[in-house]
Amino acid sequence: MRIDNTHYINALEALLFASDEPLDIDQLAECLELKREEMIDIVNSLQERYRELGGLELKQIEDGYIIIAKSAFNDYIKKLKPTRSHKLSRAAMETLAIVAFKQPITKLEVASLRGVKCDGVISMLLTKGLITAVGRKDTIGRPIIYGTTDSFIQYFGLASIDDLPKPENLKF
């Protein structure tokens, strides 16, 4: 006996909500014990649900999917954390600088340059919308690669990413 699609749509939503990284169709199909084609139908159904209702959307990043807040509600979200969210820690600034100057870059490459793990900092920068997953590196494991966002450019008052100083011109 097969469970109806509503169950799988809800299960997909729970999986995506619980994950802090995009999940691809094959991962999702394996978790829900579905065929790839069935999983694609379930993903399309959830996308349709979000188009019609609510404040969330299902965003595709390369081969993976994540749940994000609809951009129409960004002003409300900013009110949730008005001033506290504007200050970045030293670790966040270091990580953000590495991503900005070396993008696209993987989490492992950032950690290697900083000399410490950066999972929490990367997660926080993703939440703040200052960096985003821009794809996957074509290497073993296909790690997610990150880059800066338009919010990063606005946060630092730049016209574009090209306005960043050149690393060779920085004085330490």
pLDDT of residue 3: 63
Label residue 62 by pLDDT band (50, 70, 90).
low
Neighbours of 2 (CB within 10 A): 8
- This prediction has a pTM of 0.51
Alpha helices in the chain (DSSP H): 5-18, 25-32, 36-52, 74-80, 90-102, 107-114, 119-127, 150-155
- The answer to whether residue 45 scores a pLDDT higher than 70 is yes
Tell me: the pLDDT tens digits for 74-95? 788 777 765 444 578 899 999 9
Please report the domains of the chain, with CATH numbers, ordered by start residue.
Answer: 5-72 (1.10.10.10), 82-163 (1.10.10.10)
